[in-house]
Structure 1
């Protein structure tokens, strides 16, 4: 399902998961203290139909898995419980870890069926070395299996073992709604249109997208009628910031990025597409919709008709061939 979205607008770093819900207003994140250790238990489970997912409690696994969030300087300890009959693991991008937490068979770092293992991920702020500034951990990252099927986790990724990892910096603005979008081979979150659930927001709400690429196919991510800035946050630092604004970006295997937009800003409510802009990919089912409701949550004029057209549309996996 198009999950991995969560309520935000909180005043301290959290680990979040579930469907997108709105808070009253966005807030600036201010951690209560720096450098804390956050612990979470993640359960890997079989979902049926050859699909697998991660969840924060037994029986709650989803595709994508829960969004994991920390602040720069925090340590995240993940207790991974393998409730499947397959070898699997959890491997992060963008953070620090030692070989025991690598999540790869190369380093004998994985879970056998029915076992529990702790993975430790550390983050840091930008720092100076040899008179130069080195980057910190803040960014929109991701995690995934690295052991199912082969030593690179190809089977686990194909089956849905992946999710978003966000490392925030103090002062980052938090969203009111949050959605994870994963282009995995020729699917969006392991589904194709019109079987991709509709995501929603009310006009004027701040919405965060985390975009992730997996599989063996090259893609581009396009969002209709909204744009963001091509940097870490997706926002300008001021009116003189010359960072390019974009509404389309490559989303290839291993890539991840994120951004925030104001729903319907300058364009109004309605049903807006997001999709891969490789033409035969979108025609083949890599296309989904974002419903921006009126500010009061009511349905905009023409929106139900657009949703009906989306649900009735037949996609061809052979288009363009």
Structure 2
């Protein structure tokens, strides 16, 4: 494991009780359309480097914030505690809420410094309307973020790290073995640049879910080496004749999000596979990281350490993080 680096092997955070818990079972999460109301408390906290993150416990804020999961038909009540000296909020994409839970100053929906406020998000399954019309459900790969710090659109909060992934699943959806969130924010990946960009790890054959989110002022694309997915809601084809386009590169622009599932190393084997923005000067300036597929037993595959050494030894746009500070050196990735 890399010294001083948080390896991106986070399990999904699911509001299954008064206190959210990671890696909840399917029964704890509730079935699609169950109408379950879940309650969690989140904390907005200052982090080193003039950053701010969301967390599920005091002192546990991260960038990105915890991944929140719901099933279609469920409601999530979030008690947001603002421990900072800045006005902030939490605003979701893809789910339903009233004006009091909008998270925008336009509707007076935000937390003053030190204030606690509850936001309520609800979801629904597809609805059969008149004739052949169907209204969409809430299932998808969405996200949440601040909408109040530094102005009416939360631009300062986004720059400082107040964002995270929101997944709404439909009954029958596959749940992954590993789950990773990739946020292209300005010219950073999760507010970092190479060689500090997240290292994501999985073992050969595991079902891996990527949640990709865009923020900031620049247009990007997301490319994952050696893996491809169906350009639909889940990333998986629904049959051998499914005409959905299969891609390995997709636009990831401010405010957009998508997700997909792949089998780690399927057809290509284990190794150090790159992910990056395919706008060339963006990747040259550090918008690139590694998806490390280990052997099935968790050991490091042949050639992977050498590839990692090249990545960490390369000058990515001067080797600076998003605030211009010199990047730190890394120890080798160790055998598990």
Corresponding residue of 1:113:
113
* Structure 1: distance between partners of 2:298 and 2:226: 20
Normalised by the size of structure 2, how large is the TM-score? 0.88
* Structure 2: distance between partners of 1:5 and 1:42: 21
Normalised by the size of structure 1, how large is the TM-score? 0.91
Corresponding residue of 2:326:
none
* Structure 2: distance between partners of 1:158 and 1:227: 30
Q: Report the CA distance between 1:31 and its aligned residue.
A: 1.8
Are the counterparts in 2 of residues 5 and 180 from structure 1 also a CA contact under 8 Å?
Answer: no
* Structure 2: distance between partners of 1:111 and 1:3: 31
Query: Aligned runs of 1:1-321 on 2, under 5 Å?
Result: 6-7=10-11, 31=31, 34-131=34-131, 132-316=133-317
Q: Report the CA distance between 1:15 and its aligned residue.
A: 5.4
* Structure 2: distance between partners of 1:253 and 1:179: 19
Q: CA RMSD in A?
A: 2.4
Q: Please list the CA deviations of residues 123-146 of structure 1 after superposition, one character each: whole Å capped at 9, or x if unmatched.
A: 000002222101000000000000
* Structure 1: distance between partners of 2:286 and 2:177: 28
Could you say what secondary structure the match of 1:238 adopts? coil
Moved more, 68-77 or 125-134: 125-134
Q: Report the CA distance between 1:49 and its aligned residue.
A: 1.4
* Structure 2: distance between partners of 1:110 and 1:141: 20
* Structure 2: distance between partners of 1:224 and 1:288: 11
Q: Please list the CA deviations of residues 51-74 of structure 1 after superposition, one character each: whole Å capped at 9, or x if unmatched.
A: 000000000000000000000000
Q: Please list the CA deviations of residues 95-122 of structure 1 after superposition, one character each: whole Å capped at 9, or x if unmatched.
A: 0000000000000000000010000000
For structure 2, the 5+ residue unaligned runs are 320-336
Could you say what secondary structure the match of 2:114 adopts? coil
